[in-house]
A = this chain, B = another copy of it.
Amino acid sequence: MNEAAGKVAPFYAVELNRIANERQRRGLPVIHMEVGQPSAGAPAAAIEAGHRALRDCPQGYWESGALAERLAHLYRERYGLPVDPSQILLTMGASAALVLTIAVLFARGARVAVPRPGYPAHRNVLHALGLVPLELDCGSETRFQPTAAMIRALDPAPAGLILTSPSNPTGTMLPEAELRAITAACRERDIRIISDETYHGIIYGPRAHSMLEYGPDAVVVNTFSKYWCMTGWRLGWAVVPAPLVDVMRRFAGNLFLVPPTLSQHVALAAMDHAAELDGHVATYATNRRLLMAALPALGITHIAPADGAFYLYADVGHLTHDSLQWCRDLLDATGVALNTGKDFDSVHGGRFIRISFAVSTDETAQAIESLGRWLEARKRA
């Protein structure tokens, strides 16, 4: 057995999602704010392209050169970055891109720093692949993000650092100056950066910067799941520094072969329909404003300053130190499904909740009302 098997935790979000789905099957209403999944699907025109590809194209092993080119173009459009299509490695979701990148970059037993709170699969994949996650305790004073000072203080230097900006669960972004400083610190200390840019495209303020603007030797992982609303299509990619392309392709061919063929057709079409997708982001922005206005009035005042993604990470330590049970109770009483911070932070997570607002604005308003009534009733109880 893998000696780290006990360290790979299940997602509480999955448990809460299961309870929510059972509730729904019993005919009770549910608002799904527990999982990181847009309630919208891929653009209608992309689904049409899917029908056409299903009718006209063979569904054999395939890597879409056109999609790699289109993604390389995205880096020019979004960030002004020259990326060659050969540097784009299509993968089965950001998950496979991450597994692949970690498997290639590090020797077994190496230490890789990850922010806490952070996406649990980052530390769990490190455990699963025989590496040692080094959690960086990131509190509200640094916007729940690591700093160059934290990186410099690590002794000995880790082999790698995984960054997520905007972050899951907090939605906070690393400021440009900090991105620059972190890159410099990592370069000095020979720390390889993996930048998980899953939430780029879902931004509420100034544009997101790619780590590649500062550190061209970083590996970027990304996905069609979030901005493009294509979770179940399982398609992502890595942007690979030229010197690593050959070894990454060799590993990809052995570990995974190629990503799903039809998903590549659909994604290519989806990339031409930004208007529909930006409409979803506008909905998230409205939902975010509603929540940011309403939660303080309900006594939830410590909320991470989310610059992007579709999450609010809120401190509910004045209400509970067991936010998993709190979420179960809320779901049971109201049908509003949120997630516990324990998925993201094994130390302080019991004081936190994550609210995913990639739902409709009506649902957001209903959730606020239900939460308010429930909190009021608990106060009286």
User: Which residues of A are at the interface with B, using a C-beta cutoff of 8 A?
Assistant: 1-3, 5, 8-11, 14, 35, 37, 41-42, 47, 50-51, 54-55, 58-62, 92-93, 95-96, 99, 103-109, 120-121, 124-125, 128-130, 230-234, 247, 249-251, 253-263
Contact in complex: B254, A128 (CB < 8 Å): yes
Q: With a CB–CB cut-off of 8 A, which chain B residues contact A257?
A: 93, 95, 234
| Closest B residue, CB atoms, query A61 | B231
A37-B60, A107-B1 known; A233 vs B261 contact (CB < 8 Å): yes
Nearest 8 A/B pairs, CB to CB: A232-B261, A108-B130, A124-B254, A59-B232, A234-B260, A121-B254, A92-B92, A260-B260
With the chains together, A109 CA to B260 CA distance in Å?
A: 32
Q: With a CB–CB cut-off of 8 A, which chain B residues contact A42?
A: 59
A3-B107, A256-B92 known; A130 vs B129 contact (CB < 8 Å): yes
Q: With a CB–CB cut-off of 8 A, which chain B residues contact A125?
A: 254-255
| Closest B residue, CB atoms, query A106 | B2
- CB pairs A–B below 8 angstroms (20 shown): A1-B107, A2-B103, A2-B105, A5-B251, A14-B253, A35-B61, A41-B59, A59-B230, A95-B256, A96-B96, A96-B256, A99-B99, A104-B128, A108-B108, A125-B254, A128-B251, A129-B130, A233-B260, A234-B257, A262-B262
With the chains together, A121 CA to B35 CA distance in Å?
A: 34
Q: Of B54, B61, B104, B263, which contacts A1 at CB under 8 A?
A: B104
Contact in complex: A255, B59 (CB < 8 Å): no
Q: How many copies does the complex hold?
A: 2
Q: With a CB–CB cut-off of 8 A, which chain B residues contact A92?
A: 92, 96, 234, 256, 260
Contact in complex: B58, A104 (CB < 8 Å): no
With the chains together, A218 CA to B51 CA distance in Å?
A: 40
With the chains together, A256 CA to B95 CA distance in Å?
A: 5
Q: Of B54, B55, B253, which contacts A10 at CB under 8 A?
A: B253
Q: Of B60, B129, B230, B250, which contacts A103 at CB under 8 A?
A: B129
With the chains together, A139 CA to B16 CA distance in Å?
A: 53
Q: With a CB–CB cut-off of 8 A, which chain B residues contact A108?
A: 2-3, 108-109, 130
Give the distance to chain B from A46, nearest Cβ to Cβ, in Å.
10
Extra A-B contacts (8), CB below 8 Å, given A47-B55, A92-B96, A92-B256 = A11-B254, A37-B61, A51-B54, A95-B256, A121-B253, A234-B234, A234-B260, A260-B263
Q: Of B99, B230, B254, which contacts A120 at CB under 8 A?
A: B254
With the chains together, A212 CA to B287 CA distance in Å?
A: 51
Q: With a CB–CB cut-off of 8 A, which chain B residues contact A249?
A: 10
A41-B59, A61-B35, A92-B92 known; A232 vs B254 contact (CB < 8 Å): no
Q: With a CB–CB cut-off of 8 A, which chain B residues contact A230?
A: 59
Q: Of B3, B10, B14, B233, which contacts A262 at CB under 8 A?
A: B233
With the chains together, A254 CA to B58 CA distance in Å?
A: 31
- Residue among A93, A255, A261 with the highest chain B CB neighbour number at 10 A: A255
Contact in complex: A107, B59 (CB < 8 Å): no
Q: With a CB–CB cut-off of 8 A, which chain B residues contact A2?
A: 103-108
Give the distance to chain B from A268, nearest Cβ to Cβ, in Å.
15
Give the distance to chain B from A15, nearest Cβ to Cβ, in Å.
11
| Closest B residue, CB atoms, query A127 | B254
With the chains together, A201 CA to B315 CA distance in Å?
A: 55
Contact in complex: B231, A60 (CB < 8 Å): yes
